[in-house]
Amino acid sequence: MFARVRPDTPTTLVQREGLNVTKDFEGLVAVVTGGASGIGAAIATRLRTGGARIAVFDVQPRGTNTHDLVISVNIADDDSVRAGIDRVAAEFGGIDIVVNNAGIGAIGTVETNSDDEWHRILDVNVIGTARVSRAALPHLRRSPVAAIVNVSSVAATAGITDRALYSASKGAISALTRAMAADHLHEGVRVNAVTPGTADTPWVQRLLSVASNPTSERSALEARQPHGRLVDPQEIADAVAYLASPASRSTTGVSLAIDGGMQELRVRPRG
């Protein structure tokens, strides 16, 4: 059991690779789903660096930081989710932040994805987000700085080939974020989302590894983002940290794009 600590001192700064990182999360407790790898691991690290105590939920929680509370949770199972949330609240004394990052990808069109695939992806990506939020809300309501951050995708709003099912799931997350923000505004719970572009993650690396020409495929992924590269997971983590932080206390119901301009810009190719 950890004693509950609230932030009651001026924020301090720590160094991260030459950058100053504000200790905005000192004394706060954050749950990060899918926090064992990729974007989720970057988010957990960023919040931890900012002073938060971290609970990582993952169906395969290998290689996580030994300072975190790591719990094997299947967000497709309500009992598993509730047990995980109850354990966090019992060990840390409460919950202030939930980052709904866990999700799975899908490739295909409406013709090629089966009903079973649709049920599986939506159960994890959409209903899983609802399950975790539902279980955490009684604890979040008791926090003076409660925040939920959902991880959507540029695929929610930009038409991308062979991503029909994945796009539908992330479009649902963006809509759910706005609805949740409205529902829980007067309870003091802020709800926002990030919408990353294509990021340099293990899932993308797996896609590249089976491509007929991985180098050419990576170049194509980089070129479709106006800034000409894949998004770094750390950039997504920094955006999540802002939305989760008391520094954004007047921000709710928004989706923050971290996509190198992919959604909004129409830039001439160089050369």
Q: Which of 113, 22, 34 is nearest to 73 (CA)?
A: 34
Residue 128 CA to residue 101 CA, distance in Å, equals 10
Of 24, 151, 166, 169, which residue is the catalytic one?
A: 166
Q: Give 179's Cβ-side CA count (13 Å radius).
A: 8
Task: Tell me which amino acid residue 222 is.
Answer: E
Contact 139, 106 (CB under 8 A): no
**Four-residue CA torsion sign, 89, 92, 96, 97:** negative
Residue 115 CA to residue 243 CA, distance in Å, equals 35
Burial class (CB in 10 A: 0-12, 13-18, 19+), 109: exposed
Q: What angle, 0 to 180 degrees and rounded to 10, lies between the N-to-C axes of helices 128-140 and 164-184?
A: 20
Contact 34, 57 (CB under 8 A): yes
Which phi and psi (to 5°) does residue 189 adopt? -110, 115
Residue 11 CA to residue 41 CA, distance in Å, equals 24
Query: Catalytic site residue 242?
Result: no
Residue 62 CA to residue 148 CA, distance in Å, equals 24
Antiparallel, parallel or unpaired: β 255-258 and 19-22: unpaired
Residue 34 CA to residue 84 CA, distance in Å, equals 13
State the catalytic residues: 166
